[in-house]
Homo-oligomer: A and B are copies of this chain.
Amino acid sequence: MTVRFGLLGAGRIGNVHARAIGSNADARLVAVADAVPASAKAVSAAYGAEVRSIDKILASKDIDAVVICTPTDTHADLIEKFSRAGKAIFCEKPIDLDVARVRKCLEVVAQTKALLMVGFNRRFDPHFMAVRQQISEGAIGKVEQVLITSRDPGPPPGEYITRSGGIFRDMTIHDFDMARFLLGAEPVSVAAEASVLVDKQIGRLGDFDTASVILTTRAGQQAVISNSRRATYGYDQRIEVLGAKGMVAAENQRPVSIEVANAKGFTRPPLHDFFMTRYIAAYANEIAAFIKAVGSNVPGKPDGADGLAALLLADAALKSVKEKRTVMLKEIAG
């Protein structure tokens, strides 16, 4: 079966997904919608698709699934609409920045029994997948500590910060999902510290740019996250998992892995400078997993519940910073 796609939003990440669909033998990009006609046209031309409005895609019988890459504040509405229209949905994270709104949206998804997959792309990175597989195969025994280092090359513009929901909901949320993916158990409490060390404007906007977080499960397993909005050496993405029998780790990826040696020492080039080049394989694997889920009519993972869980951890972290205490998840989750 070939899955026929509608793409909602033809911006930066929309293009990434369009390419993934285009190069997948089991999928075809049928239609593209974007508020900017030129963007929609460019993508449609490159992949032999039509330009259609969102409403038209909603009504299209030749569309099985949509990829939602529109602005965050439209996600929940679109998920609800396309759920009701019986389309399978892949939605970029987050579903919404507000927990109540996410919950309401997921109720609709549940009622309509729609297939909803949420874009936590890192779960599909080949190296992180291999880490997960080692854990699953018992190579390190029961997980005891997870260490996640996640640093952006540089801070985003102030305008982006304003709309982002803050560092925990925008950046750390990927690490919250990764921690859940690796711990194999739900965190029950969060202790977080956050500072403004990189960009004072970020502080003026009420956000942070440097954060350290400890998650703890009921059994006492710990996940430690280290975030910064600045890493001069590139996009720093590492994970490490300690278990009763050993440790498994995934190192940083490099676009070019050479080494130059001279009197100053041995130098390797910087890391990727952009999440799209760093996670190029992850994005392709992610869409392939969605296509497979649609084709076989099984639930996709990570799903709406995963999106909600990560958002709750973000809210708990923010509360921990503000109240200078360990916050229990049940305080947030109600």
A256 within 8 A of B: yes
**Nearest 4 pairs of A and B residues by beta carbon:** A195-B220, A246-B262, A233-B261, A325-B325
Chain B residues with CB under 8 Å of A270's CB are 261, 263-266
A72 within 8 A of B: no
**What CA separation (Å) do A324 and B323 show in the bound complex?**
11
With A144-B197, A325-B325 as contacts: A130 and B228 at CB distance below 8 Å:
no
Chain B residues with CB under 8 Å of A147's CB are 149, 226
* Those of A191-208 within 8 Å (CB) of chain B: 191-193, 195-198
**What CA separation (Å) do A144 and B197 show in the bound complex?**
7
CB atoms of A212 and B214 under 8 A apart: yes
Identical chains bound together, number? 4
* Those of A244-301 within 8 Å (CB) of chain B: 244-251, 253, 255-270
CB atoms of A242 and B228 under 8 A apart: yes
CB atoms of B126 and A255 under 8 A apart: yes
A127 within 8 A of B: yes
A63 within 8 A of B: no
A216 within 8 A of B: yes
Which residues does A use to contact B, with CB under 8 Å? 23, 25, 46, 126-127, 130-131, 134, 139-140, 142, 144-145, 147, 149, 151, 189, 191-193, 195-198, 210-212, 214, 216, 219-222, 224, 226, 228, 230-233, 236, 242, 244-251, 253, 255-270, 324-326
Instruction: Tell me the smallest distance from the CB of A207 to a CB of chain B, in Å.
Output: 13
CB atoms of B262 and A245 under 8 A apart: yes
Chain B residues with CB under 8 Å of A246's CB are 232-233, 260-263
Question: Of B214, B220, B255, B266, which one neighbours A268 at CB under 8 angstroms?
Answer: B266
Instruction: Tell me the smallest distance from the CB of A231 to a CB of chain B, in Å.
Output: 7
**What CA separation (Å) do A269 and B133 show in the bound complex?**
13
Chain B residues with CB under 8 Å of A230's CB are 144, 244
Chain B residues with CB under 8 Å of A211's CB are 222
Chain B residues with CB under 8 Å of A224's CB are 212, 224, 226
Question: Of B228, B257, B263, which one neighbours A233 at CB under 8 angstroms?
Answer: B263
With A147-B149, A197-B220, A224-B224 as contacts: A130 and B269 at CB distance below 8 Å:
yes
CB atoms of B212 and A233 under 8 A apart: no
Could you jot down 10 A-B contacts, CB within 8 Å?
Answer: A134-B260, A144-B198, A145-B226, A191-B193, A224-B224, A233-B246, A233-B261, A247-B262, A264-B267, A267-B267
